[in-house]
Structure 1
Amino acid sequence: MTTSADLTTAGVRRAAQARPLIAEADLPPARHFVDGAFVEGSTERVIDVVDPSSEAVIARIPEGTAEDVDRAVAAAVAAKNEWAGRLPRERSELLHAIADRLVENTELFSRLESANTGKPLAVSTDDVGQAVDTFRFMAGAVRATTSLAAGDYAENHLSVILREPLGVIGVITPWNYPLLMAVWKIAPILAAGNTLVIKPSEQTPLTTLKFAELVADLLPPGVLNVVNGYGSPVGARLAEHPDLNMIALTGSVNSGRAVARAAADTLKRVHLELGGKAPVVVFPDADLTAAASALRVAGFWNSGQECGAACRVLVHESVAERFVGQLVGEVQALVVGEPQAGEDVEVGPMVSKAHFDRVTGYLERAKKDGVRVATGGGALDGPGYFVAPTVLVDVPEGAEAAREEIFGPVITVETFTDEDEAVRRANDVPLGLSASVWTENARRSHDIAARLDFGTVWVNSHLVLASEVPWGGFKGSGYGRDLSIYALDDYSRTKHVMHNHER
Structure 2
Amino acid sequence: MTLTTANKLKEYQNVVNGELVPASSGETVDSLDPATGEAWAKVPRSSLKDVDTIVASARQAFPAWAALSALERADYMRQIGDLIAEHAEEIAELEARDIGWVIRETTYGLIPVLKQIWYDAAGATAVASRGETVQMGPTSLGYTLREPLGVVLGILPWNSPLFTFTMKAAYALAAGNTVVIKPSESAAVSSLRYGELLAKVLPPGVLNVICGKGSEVGDALVSHRDINKVTLTGSGTTAQAIAKATAQHPKPLTLELGGKSPNIVFADANLEKAVDGITTNGIFTGNAGQLCVGGSRILIQRPIFDKMLTLMKEHIEKSIQLGDPMSPESTMGPIVNLSQYKQICSYIDIGLEEGEVVFGGRHGGAELLPGKPQFEGGYWVEPTLFRVESNAHRICQEEIFGPVAVVMPFDTEEEAIALANDTAFGLGAGVWTSNLDCAQRMIRNLDSGNVWVNTYRRVGVELPFGGVKDSGYGTDSILENTREKACVIEMG
TM-score, length-scaled by structure 1: 0.91
CA distance in 2, matches of 1:428, 1:35: 47
CA distance in 2, matches of 1:491, 1:335: 41
1:66-145 → structure 2 map (5 Å cutoff): 66-125=48-107, 126-145=109-128
1:495 matched to which residue of 2?
485
The correspondence for 2:245, drawn from 254, 258, 262, is 262
1:150 Cα deviation after fit: 1.6
The correspondence for 1:375, drawn from 353, 359, 369, is 359
Contact 2:34–2:100 (Cα < 8 Å) also in 1: yes
The correspondence for 1:438, drawn from 432, 441, 445, is 432
Contact 1:22–1:112 (Cα < 8 Å) also in 2: no
The correspondence for 1:346, drawn from 331, 343, 360, is 331
Contact 1:395–1:412 (Cα < 8 Å) also in 2: no
Q: 1:419 corresponds to which letter in structure 2?
A: E
Shift in alpha-carbon separation, 1:155–1:326, aligned structure 2, 3 A: farther
CA distance in 2, matches of 1:438, 1:148: 41
Partner secondary structure for residue 247 of structure 1: strand
Partner secondary structure for residue 326 of structure 2: helix
Partner secondary structure for residue 458 of structure 1: strand
The correspondence for 1:459, drawn from 453, 457, 460, is 453
CA offsets 1:407-436 (integer angstroms, 9 cap, x no match): 111221011121112111101111111101
Contact 2:179–2:208 (Cα < 8 Å) also in 1: yes
Shift in alpha-carbon separation, 1:308–1:77, aligned structure 2, 3 A: same
CA distance in 1, matches of 2:10, 2:142: 49
CA distance in 1, matches of 2:137, 2:392: 55
Partner secondary structure for residue 281 of structure 2: helix
Shift in alpha-carbon separation, 1:388–1:242, aligned structure 2, 3 A: same
Partner secondary structure for residue 430 of structure 1: coil
CA distance in 1, matches of 2:217, 2:112: 30
Structure 1 residue 158 and structure 2 residue 155: aligned? no
CA distance in 2, matches of 1:29, 1:76: 24
Q: Supply the RMSD in Å over aligned alpha carbons.
A: 1.6
Contact 1:41–1:64 (Cα < 8 Å) also in 2: yes
1:204-353 → structure 2 map (5 Å cutoff): 204-295=187-278, 296-301=280-285, 302-333=287-318, 334-341=320-327, 343-353=328-338
CA distance in 2, matches of 1:154, 1:462: 51
1:226 Cα deviation after fit: 1.1
Q: 1:172 corresponds to which letter in structure 2?
A: I
CA offsets 1:155-193 (integer angstroms, 9 cap, x no match): 532122211000011111011111111011010010000
Q: 1:305 corresponds to which letter in structure 2?
A: Q
Partner secondary structure for residue 264 of structure 1: coil
CA offsets 1:293-342 (integer angstroms, 9 cap, x no match): 2222222222100001121111112211111111121122211111233x
TM-score, length-scaled by structure 2: 0.93
Contact 2:3–2:10 (Cα < 8 Å) also in 1: no
CA distance in 2, matches of 1:97, 1:472: 28
Q: 1:299 corresponds to which letter in structure 2?
A: I
Runs (5+) with no aligned partner, structure 1: 1-20
Runs (5+) with no aligned partner, structure 2: 367-375
1:474 Cα deviation after fit: 0.4
CA distance in 1, matches of 2:293, 2:253: 21
Partner secondary structure for residue 380 of structure 2: coil
1:364 Cα deviation after fit: 0.7
Q: 1:95 corresponds to which letter in structure 2?
A: M
Shift in alpha-carbon separation, 1:225–1:148, aligned structure 2, 3 A: closer
1:496 Cα deviation after fit: 1.4
CA distance in 2, matches of 1:411, 1:22: 35
CA offsets 1:7-54 (integer angstroms, 9 cap, x no match): xxxxxxxxxxxxxx75549x9852221111112212233211000111
Q: 2:395 corresponds to which letter in structure 1?
A: A
1:10 matched to which residue of 2?
none
Contact 1:247–1:268 (Cα < 8 Å) also in 2: yes
2:24 matched to which residue of 1?
42
Contact 2:132–2:145 (Cα < 8 Å) also in 1: no
Contact 1:28–1:210 (Cα < 8 Å) also in 2: no
CA offsets 1:96-123 (integer angstroms, 9 cap, x no match): 1011111100000111111111111022
- Give aligned pairs, total: 475
Contact 1:76–1:195 (Cα < 8 Å) also in 2: yes
Contact 1:439–1:445 (Cα < 8 Å) also in 2: yes
CA distance in 1, matches of 2:292, 2:301: 24
Q: 1:495 corresponds to which letter in structure 2?
A: K
Contact 1:137–1:468 (Cα < 8 Å) also in 2: no
CA offsets 1:180-219 (integer angstroms, 9 cap, x no match): 1101101001000001111111011111111122222211
Partner secondary structure for residue 429 of structure 1: coil
CA distance in 2, matches of 1:40, 1:188: 28
Shift in alpha-carbon separation, 1:148–1:93, aligned structure 2, 3 A: closer
Q: 1:244 corresponds to which letter in structure 2?
A: I
CA distance in 1, matches of 2:2, 2:89: 11
> Identity of paired residues, percent?
35
Contact 1:238–1:247 (Cα < 8 Å) also in 2: no
CA distance in 2, matches of 1:56, 1:28: 14
